[in-house]
Structure 1
Amino acid sequence: MSDNEGHSAAPPSEEDLSLPKATVAKMIAELLPNGVTCAKDTRDLIIECCVEYIHLISSEANEICEQDAKKTIAPEHIISALKRLGFETFTAEVEDVLKDHKQQQKVSLLVKHMTCGLRLLQEREKKVSKLELSGLSEEELLRQQQELFAQSLAKYQSTQQ
């Protein structure tokens, strides 16, 4: 990474790493019973614990990734890291979330391909409609096209002399 002056930007320090406070506060509020609140210091401590947990899992997953001679941490590395660190109870839920995510990606890709295919069909219909609307046969259109090419070539040759 680099900043506006062309200098290399340093990776974020441990102090710079955090989670969005408003999002965490909302999640905490949703999990607590009605009428129970969370002090700011408590919320900040929860954020620090979450960041440390993420760092721990990602560091372990990175080691597993390197052992597999890979350059990109894959979901399987995260699951292995959870198991290695004693968080096996989380793996089933993580695998379910991963499965749902992959299914959503397939659906999104399918929708994208269908939309693209529909667009191509619409374009073909427009071209056919224009051909039909011209009232000319393909042979006549081809003859006109050849005439235009000949005129263009003649014009080009006259400017070259």
Structure 2
Amino acid sequence: MEQLPKATVQQFIKSTTNGDMKFSNEYVTQVMSMAREYFQMVSDQANTICQENGKKTISGEFFYKAIQQFRLD
């Protein structure tokens, strides 16, 4: 899986705080790693649901069902 854009992740982190905090590169790298893991987990589950439904194309519906199964909705 490709890397997430570091600037985008940094912007996301700042948007969840007051914006006046600084973050180490190690912290940003860890958040990027966790986000990749989350995307991989949800994508794998969406793929499984898609196959169970006899479909070949993963739709938003399958992603939503995957998120619901992980109770992340």
Q: Under a length normalisation based on structure 2, what TM-score does the superposition of the two structures give?
A: 0.89
Give % identity: 27
Alignment of 1:93-132 (within 5 A): none
Runs of 4+ aligned structure 1 residues displaced above 6 Å come to none
Q: CA RMSD in A?
A: 1.2
Give the aligned residue type for 1:72: T
Q: Secondary structure at the match of 1:27?
A: helix
Distance across 1 between alignment mates of 2:8 and 2:19: 18
Give how far 1:48 is off: 0.4
Q: Which of 41, 58, 77 does residue 26 from structure 2 map onto?
A: 41
- Higher CA-based Rg: 1
Structure 1 gap ranges (5+): 1-13, 91-161
Deviations 1:36-56 (A, max 9, x none): 111110110000000000000
Distance across 2 between alignment mates of 1:38 and 1:46: 11
Give 2:5's aligned residue. Answer: 20
Structure 2 gap ranges (5+): none
Write 1 or 2 for the structure with the bigger share of helix: 1
Give 2:70's aligned residue. Answer: 85
Deviations 1:81-109 (A, max 9, x none): 1111222xx2xxxxxxxxxxxxxxxxxxx
- How many residues were matched structurally? 73
Deviations 1:95-130 (A, max 9, x none): xxxxxxxxxxxxxxxxxxxxxxxxxxxxxxxxxxxx
Which structure has more RCO (C-alpha within 8 Å, separation ≥ 6)?
2
Give 2:58's aligned residue. Answer: 73
